Amino acid sequence: MTTLFISDLHLDAERPQVTALFGRFLREEARGADALYILGDLFEAWVGDDDPSDTGAFVARELRTLADAGVPVHFIRGNRDFLVGDAFARRAGMTILPDPAVVMLYGEPTLILHGDTLCTDDVAYQQFRAQVRNPAWQQQFLSQPLAARVAFAQQARAASKAHQAGLQDKGAMESITDVAPATVEATLLRFGITRMIHGHTHRPAIHELEIGERACQRIVLGDWYDQGSVLRVSPGDVKLETL
């Protein structure tokens, strides 16, 4: 009895070895899981469900095969693939969950989310996030030709790298791009839950916290840039490991 959690794969055509690793993971370990949760940034960029990329087609096929084998696949949108829609979800056989969502893991309620909403000290990013998550903005963006959307995604990636480089120069990269402890505390208190699982920060760890005189746990998933990262949750046990 094991439920698997992954995030921040950032799949694209430039890193085919990671896409291949993901495919093997789905065909092998994931086949025996109770469920698979993907907590955002499955793709490096996603500009709409009409994107004809080979990577997207491969992922949809592999996830559909897993779902058809009886393993539920759940997905939370990330900051790179927030435009993944119902059409792709149907192709992939996966269920899109709200961010955040509460799930029961072997009797224990757990809060799951991508994690970018916890990084409230990065004001510039939060302003950008509010803009692109606006339904009106998304509708206008998706109405543009595919080439224009791809160009925008490339510009956004360049701007993100420049923003991070600027933070690095100021010595603020580690603090600004990580979660804000007060936001983590407020989020757990709001939901009344003692365990949280998220990605986004690329800082894999299991943090033991005390919030409101209650023992809490914040589990951060790793990225898939240099290796795979998976959280295995079973009754009474959690293991965060690399592939």
Residue 211: per-residue pLDDT: 92
What letter represents residue 85's amino acid?
G
Per residue in 56-67, pLDDT (tens digit) is 999 999 999 999
Is 41 annotated in a binding site? The answer is yes
Residue 170: per-residue pLDDT: 60
Is 80 annotated in a binding site? The answer is yes
Domain count, the chain: 1
- Burial (CB count within 10 angstroms: exposed 0-12, middle 13-18, buried 19+), residue 119: buried
* Phi, psi dihedrals of residue 164, rounded to the nearest 5°: -70, -35
Q: With a cut of 90, say whether residue 165 has pLDDT above it.
A: no
Region 58-87 average pLDDT: 97
Which domain does 17 fall in, by range?
Answer: 3-242
Residue 75: per-residue pLDDT: 98
Per residue in 90-129, pLDDT (tens digit) is 999 999 999 999 999 999 999 999 999 999 999 988 999 9
Helices and strands per DSSP (H, E), number in the chain: 8, 11
Is 160 annotated in a binding site? The answer is yes
- The average confidence (pLDDT) of the chain is 93
More confident residue, 216 or 172: 216
Task: Give percent above pLDDT 70 in the chain.
Answer: 95
Closest CA to 45 of 131, 139, 154: 154
Q: With a cut of 80, say whether residue 160 has pLDDT above it.
A: no
Q: With a cut of 90, say whether residue 221 has pLDDT above it.
A: yes
Is 79 annotated in a binding site? The answer is yes
Is 200 annotated in a binding site? The answer is yes
Is 114 annotated in a binding site? The answer is yes
Is 170 annotated in a binding site? The answer is yes
CATH number at residue 147: 3.60.21.10
What's the predicted TM-score (pTM) here?
0.94
What letter represents residue 28's amino acid?
E
